[in-house]
Amino acid sequence: MSGSPGHAAGPEAPPGGALVARSASAADTERLGERLAPCLRTGDVVALSGPLGSGKTRFVAGLARGLGVGARVRSPSFTLINEYHGRLRLVHLDLYRLEPAEAEALGLEEELEKGPLVAEWGERLPARLRDEALAVAFETAGEEERVLTATAGAGRGRELLEAWRRALAEGA
């Protein structure tokens, strides 16, 4: 399914329950994040993966806007963790510079008590946090175009996946 130019497309549901959304621009990628934001609650984990420049930080900017955050979102590449305050406290991690074993030592369970946790390079999160996470993979499909594929294994991640699917369908 494709959307009109300049607008995020509605969700696709390929076999296996994944949600596939297409973005024609950075603004579209932000809108996709903004549509997920109302579904989030404290303790949720969103694991983002994809190459550098694929839109992960733009997606987080949309999440922040959807949570009522007024601050500019920046990738926490050097600080590792940024927090943004809105309807919920959004905890934004960038694990690019860490090995998975190093991520274990960050005390992320404490961060989950503060609000939803969204991790760029989310595949480096400890396995126990990925188990019930919403995983969003970013692919570059052109200069501005992106394809986001969301999956979830169990529990709250599955609930988030279905809630986001409904939110995107309502906004299509």
> For the domain 32-171, what is the CATH superfamily, name and number?
P-loop containing nucleotide triphosphate hydrolases (3.40.50.300)
Number of residues that make up the chain: 172
Per-residue pLDDT averaged across 49-64, rounded? Answer: 95
What count of other Cβ atoms lies within 10 Å of the Cβ of residue 51?
10
pLDDT: is 131 or 107 the higher one? 131
Taking the model in full, what pTM does it have? 0.88
CA 37 – CA 23 distance, rounded (Å): 17
For residue 135, what are the β-bridge partners? 47, 151
Per-residue pLDDT averaged across 18-39, rounded? Answer: 96
pLDDT value of residue 172: 60
Q: Are 118 and 108 in contact (CB under 8 A)?
A: no
Domain boundaries, the chain: 32-171
